[in-house]
Amino acid sequence: MHKSVIIDAVRSPIGLKNGSLVGIRPDDLSSQVIQGLLNRHKNISPEIIEDLVLGCAFPEGPQGMLLAKGVSILAGIPETSGGAVINRFCGSSMDAVHQISTKIEAGDIEVGIAVGVEDMFSVPMGGFNPDFHPELAEQDYYIGMGETAEILAKEGNISRETQEEFSIESHKKALKAWENGKYTDEVIAIDIYGERTVDKDEGPRQPDIEKIKSLAPAFLENGTVTAATSSPISIGAAAILIASEKFVRDNSINYRATIKGRSIAGVDWRRMGTGPIPATKKVLQNTDMTMNDIDVIELNEAFAAQSLFVIDECKWDISKININGGAIALGHPLGCSGARIITTLLNVMEQQEVTTGLATMCIGTGQGIATILERA
């Protein structure tokens, strides 16, 4: 079987409501990120890109019309390359990585790009015209994500104060990472139609403790989850260049990591935040590894309560997790986030000079997804 390797990965800054990134089309945003990725590798011609898989949680409106192929053309990739859109909600672009790497390992292609994008301001959560099946509605299948976080907070006895502490730490780590240049290698500056350039995440901020403690519960009247302990609505894109180990060896191309394992798992949709637990268990089994083999972890912070539940349940070492901050500080542009945390994981592994990393996340509708990387 062929091995799949990551040559490189980059992302845009993540923008928030009323921020500088709002206003750019998601296809233009994605194409700039892909161009930025390819511009770092002049020895790799766009002609060799055989397929592009793009993850997007709500592929309609400006994110519709087979966005992947249009983005590919805008990025300067020849018409001979394919393009497909994958929707697995929050796990969409991690699944895009899985699909490209699986094609490579099967011998179907040698080089491909996995992309993730979401503009949560131009396409609302739920889309423009949701149509719920009555039987599924009776089973709470369409439960709000915030409500699922409240369920886990109650089940795990996770207090509001503990959630706030976790969120504050996410912001502090992200601010420190930016101050120390830890994001410099992964973020591509984005041109907003010649009007301005955005080159930094808009989410991380010095926590206002008094304001955080004054916030009303966001989802349930007597709940513990607030806006401060939830990942913010955002816009962003990420792209990952993947090839076969044989291709990079034959062409004397450096690569950054091997994709060692992949997994998908399902859970109760009311407890969707637990998805990383079985997904991680499965990917460890698939690779004949244990958590003792994992040096660092990128766990998508959909909610503080959800993240803490997973960490507590799995008994993970919190010092290994989201070293440069997480989605509560940075933002969680749904379809982008899977590729974003893999991109960040690559950089953290290099910065920490460690060998093996895990990226994992929960998915609305009750799923979990995970990827293990081994640094080159």
Catalytically annotated residues: 90, 332, 362
| DSSP assigned state of 232 | P
| Cβ contacts of 150-154, under 8 Å, gap ≥ 24 | 150/219, 150/220, 150/223, 150/224, 150/225, 150/305, 151/270, 151/271, 152/271, 152/273, 152/274, 152/303, 152/305, 152/306, 152/309, 153/223, 153/224, 153/225, 153/305, 153/309
Reduced to 3 states (helix: H, G, I; strand: E, B; else coil), residue 173 is: helix
Amino acid letter, 127: G
Question: Sign (positive/negative) of CA torsion 82, 83, 86, 90?
Answer: positive
Q: Take residue 41 and report the two structure tokens written for it.
A: 């590798």
* Closest-CA residue to 199 (of 212, 210, 190): 190
* Closest-CA residue to 306 (of 330, 342, 272, 357): 272
How far is C-alpha 236 from the geometric centre of its chain's CA atoms?
A: 10
Beta strands at 111-119 and 51-55: parallel, antiparallel or unpaired: parallel
Amino acid letter, 150: E
**What count of other Cβ atoms lies within 10 Å of the Cβ of residue 101?**
25
Q: Do the beta carbons of residue 209 and residue 80 sit within 8 Å?
A: no
How far is C-alpha 154 from the geometric centre of its chain's CA atoms?
A: 26
